[in-house]
Amino acid sequence: MGPSYPRPRTIAGTVAGVIVGGLVFSLFIGLGVPLSSRVASAVPLVILGIAGAYAGWLVGVIVFGAVRGANDPEKPA
């Protein structure tokens, strides 16, 4: 057997998942920065950073799966 290359849909799903996950993470950090300066503590930034990392990963995986689609080729009905 020859080398197995990723399909274009897998690459597109990976790129889309990373971009959307990064945007979600950035949104959480963006919400934490003004809050941490308002309360004069870094705790909200750390908590929102951890929550943003998890939310970004979760949304990224969902987007990856949605863009990549099923493993089986479409079968005519």
According to the model, what pLDDT value does residue 71 have?
Answer: 72
Q: Provide the residue range defining the domain that includes 29.
A: 17-68
Report the pLDDT averaged over residues 43-68: 94
Check if the beta carbon of residue 2 is closer than 8 Å to that of residue 52.
Answer: no
Instruction: Please check whether residue 28 lies inside any domain of the structure.
Output: yes
Instruction: Decide if pLDDT at 4 tops 60.
Output: yes
Q: Is the residue at 43 inside a domain?
A: yes
The confidence score (pLDDT) of residue 76 equals 59
Q: Which residue has the higher pLDDT, 16 or 8?
A: 16
Instruction: Tell me if 59 sits within 8 A of 67, measured CB to CB.
Output: no
Is residue 26, in this structure, part of any structural domain at all? yes
In a domain, 6, yes or no: no
Q: What is the pLDDT of residues 15-52, one digit of tens each?
A: 999 999 999 999 999 999 998 888 888 898 999 999 99
**Distance (Å, whole) CA 42 – CA 54:** 19
Q: Are 48 and 35 in contact (CB under 8 A)?
A: yes
For the chain, how many structural domains are there in total?
A: 1
Residue 75 in domain: no
